[in-house]
Amino acid sequence: MNCFKHNDRVAVGICRSCAKGLCMECAAPLTNGLACKGSCEERVNLLNKMIDNNAKTLSAARYQTKSHAVITLIIGAMILVFGGILKSTAEAGQTMPLFFLCSAPVFIVLGILRLMKKSQYPAAEK
């Protein structure tokens, strides 16, 4: 491949923004690749920033999924304990403790399922 601007020169790489071939003179080396000197640098810097920000967002989303699972488990455990306390102090025939004791497993199962589920957010590079 030759340079987009200088057809007689061999390209040393391609621009990350417009994908045109660049010779040594036309290429602006940036953090993660090349850009057309004077025209695509700003856009490639923006692309790099967007990729970095996306990686941070994905990492936060993965963390939140896991922490929600743990919170769901804790709520399930609290309902179970509360139901147990209610049952130990309830008179015969009261259904309230049963309601709690039956709903606790729902939270616990949901929490475990969520913990086991493979993250829907891909791991960022690095």
Among 14, 21, 34, 40, binds Zn ion (CB under 5 A): 40
The least distance separating Zn ion from the CB of residue 46, rounded to whole angstroms, comes to: 13
* Helix, strand, or coil (residue 28): strand
Site for Zn ion contains 11 (CB under 5 A): no
Tallying the residues shown for the chain, one arrives at 126
Among 14, 21, 34, 36, binds Zn ion (CB under 5 A): 36
Q: Could you identify the residue written with the tokens 């919170």?
A: 71
Which amino acid, residue 115? L
* Helix, strand, or coil (residue 14): strand
Q: What is the rounded distance in angstroms from the CA atom of residue 53 to the CA atom of residue 72?
A: 28
Among 5, 37, 62, 87, binds Zn ion (CB under 5 A): 5
Residues 12-31 close enough to bind Zn ion by CB under 5 A: 15, 17-18, 23, 25-26
Q: What is the rounded distance in angstroms from the CA atom of residue 46 to the CA atom of residue 53?
A: 10
Contact region with Zn ion (CB under 5 A), list: 40-48, 65-73, 95-103, 117-125 = 40-48
Per CB under 5 A, residues contacting Zn ion are 3, 5-6, 15, 17-18, 23, 25-26, 36, 40
